Structures are given as structure tokens and as C-alpha cells.
Amino acid sequence: MHAEVALKGRSFINALDFTPEEYEALFSLAEEIRTHPQDFTGACAGRVLATLFYEPSTRTRLSFEAAMLRLGGQVLSVADPQTSSVAKGESLADTIRTVAAYADLIVIRHPKEGAARLAAMYSPVPVINAGDGAREHPTQTLTDLYTIRTLKGRLSELAVAFCGDLRFGRTVHSLLRALSRYPGMRFFLISPEELRIPEFLREELSAQGITMEEREQMEEVLPFVDVLYMTRVQKERFLDEEEYLRLRDFYILTPDRLELLKKDAIVMHPLPRVTEIAYGVDADPRAVYFQQVRFGMYARMALILGILGVV
Ligand code: CP
């Protein structure tokens, strides 16, 4: 008997689409898969997952595809929209209705905010948002919560610092929203003025009574945090290349700065990394970002099983 996940037929567009209890059920299932992968081989035999990526990806697309293949299902993929009929001017609505005729579940990444929500409106099969512009990346949040839950043992009473591009970083937006539902959390936001969190998100969180301590210097915050969530400055969202280059190296986590962190803190990053974490940090046991990558595959296996109603 596996952990029960009651998500059959649901789309996953925003991090808040699932309750904390639904996330908890997914973590339990992901843990079962991680520890007993042989029990799930063939669970999705005869099912088809489609991945439609209108923006580049390594982890999200390949982890979903690896997840489906490890569950015994099949995968259809558009990794470059220029090789599909999008290049001939086909609308997202028509593309989705077409792909839904072939697949049981659609995973979509798109540069436009709201694109995944639109896709879900037209799709007769569930849709998973793999990132829509600078807005949301809920399956990264699923991965991040599962990583914190597993490595810190809880999702409450934690000090979490987000560092870097908090303006365009969709993983930050989704994770902040999700973590704000747990008790006893303390949030530090470390960014330059230009990359502070968007006003709509600040207002949304303030309206819930969430307080966030904003700083520009990472050194001021490092001694106090349990989780340090580093982010890349999102080059693809900048209109001005010079502005990007000026801000790109604003924060670099080096082995020297790592000395300021608590011994049991963890350093996370959704990846890809550019310059914001020095390679010299990777060997430190607190640097868990490649573990996070692996957790992401198990979390997505659980999500696929839950949405397809296989468990
Ligand atoms: N974390 C993440 O979304 O990575 P990719 O862009 O490689 O999918």
C-alpha cells in the first residue's frame, strides 16, 4: 500500500494550487519512490507524457522525462518550438488541444506569464506549469520543499534567506508563497535595489502578515539562516545587457563567505548556476544543490503518479 495522493485529474499551475497536506502526501510518496524505486517500475505503463518547452531547460524537462520513463511510461517532447507548427503561427490553444489528443498529461514551459493557465483552460488533460515567464515555477517549489523537508526534517520554524534576483526569479516567487503557509518562518531577502521582489508579491505576503527582512549585504544575514537559497540573475528577462552585466556578479558565495553559515545550514539553488556560487563551495556538505536536482526527479515521479491517479 503506497502513500495516497488525491490529485487525480488536477492541473498544477501555481504553487498554492496544492494544500500543505497535499504536498505532504507527495513528499511521502516521493520518499517511498526514492527508497524503493523497484516498486514503481511499470506504474505508468501505457501512459504518455508530453513536454512542451518554449524556453530552454535542462533539469525540468529532463527530470520530468526521466520520471515518466522510470515509471514505465512514454514521452513526447517539443524541446525547440521552432521545429513545431508554432513556427507557422499556430496558437497555444490549438497546440494544446492537439497535444492533448496524444498525451495523458502535458508539461509546459513558456516565456509568457499566464501561458500555463491558458493552456489548462483549453486542455482536456491535466497541465503542469514548468515555468511561465517570471511568475511561477511550482514544480521547482515541490522539489525545494521536498529537499528542505528531507534535509532539515521540517518545514516550520526555519530562517530562510533568498539571495540574488528576487525580481525575475520565478522559483523565489513560488517558494516564498508556499513557505509563507508554514508556522514560525523567518524570511530574509538579499538583493540589490533593482532586483527586489515585485510589488504585487510584497503586497500579497504583507496582507497575510508575513514579514520579510530585506538586506543588501549577504554577510549580515548568513550567520542566522537555516536555508540559503541562492539564485542566478535572470539574463533572459533583462532588456538592457549592460544592466545585466552590472548586476550579474553582485553576490558570489565563496568558501570564505560560507564560513559565516551555521554548521547545519543548507545551501540550495534551483540551477543553472552562472557565477553566484563559486565552484569551490561544491564540496562543502552544506551545498545540497545537486542533491536537490535528484530530489526533483523523485518529486516529479510522485506528482505524475498522483495526477494520473495511479496511486
Ligand atoms: N531549475 C530549473 O528550472 O532548471 P532548468 O531551467 O534547467 O529546467
- Name the 3-class secondary structure at 3: coil
Q: Are 270 and 171 in contact (CB under 8 A)?
A: yes
What local confidence, expressed as pLDDT, does residue 129 receive? Answer: 98
Q: Could you give the CA distance from residue 61 to residue 79 in angstroms, rounded to a whole number?
A: 8
Name the DSSP letter for residue 251.
Answer: -
CA quadruple 242, 248, 251, 254: dihedral sign:
negative
On the CB side of 56, how many CA atoms lie within 13 Å of its CA?
Answer: 5
pTM check: above 0.75: yes
| DSSP bridge pairs for 78 | 52
pLDDT at residue 1 above 90?
no
pLDDT of 249: 87
Arithmetic mean of pLDDT over the chain: 96
Residues lining ligand 1, Cβ inside 6 A: 57-60, 131, 140, 270-272
Dist CA 101 CA 76 (whole Å): 12
For a ligand 1 pocket test, name from 53, 54, 58, 147 the mutation site with the most ligand atoms within 8 angstroms of its C-beta.
58
Find the 56 Cα to ligand 1 centroid distance in Å: 8
Q: What is the pLDDT of residue 234?
A: 87
pLDDT of residue 30: 98
Residue 112 predicted with pLDDT over 90: yes
Could you tell me the three cell numbers for 188?
530574509
Residue with the three cell numbers 526569479: 169
Show Cβ contacts of residue 21 under 8 Å, excluding neighbours closer than 6 positions. none
Output the CA 58–ligand 1 centroid distance in Å: 6
Residue 2 clears pLDDT 90, i.e. is over it: no
Q: What are the Cα distances from residue 168, in Å, to 46, 165, 196, 201?
A: 38, 6, 9, 12
Which amino acid is it at 101? A
- What are the tens digits of pLDDT across the range 278-305? 999 999 999 999 999 999 999 999 999 9
In the chain, the percentage of residues whose pLDDT exceeds 70 is 100
CA distances from 65 to 51, 61, 130 (A): 8, 6, 12
Spacing, Cα 273 to ligand 1 middle (Å):
10
pLDDT score, position 258: 97
pLDDT at 238: 87
pLDDT confidence of residue 50? 98
Expressed in angstroms and rounded, the spacing between residue 130 Cα and the centre of ligand 1 is: 9
190 in Cβ contact with 161 (< 8 Å): yes
Q: What is the pLDDT of residues 65-76, one digit of tens each?
A: 999 999 999 999
Q: What is the pLDDT of residues 203-257, one digit of tens each?
A: 999 999 998 999 999 999 999 999 999 999 988 888 888 988 998 988 999 999 9
How much distance in Å is there from the Cα of 209 to the middle of ligand 1?
A: 31
CA dihedral 84, 308, 31, 177 (to 10 degrees): 70
65 in helix, strand or coil? helix
Calculate what percentage of the chain has a pLDDT beyond 90.
Answer: 90
Furthest C-alpha separation in the chain: 56
- Which among 51, 55, 60 is the best mutation to test ligand 1's pocket, defined by most ligand atoms within 8 Å of the CB? 60
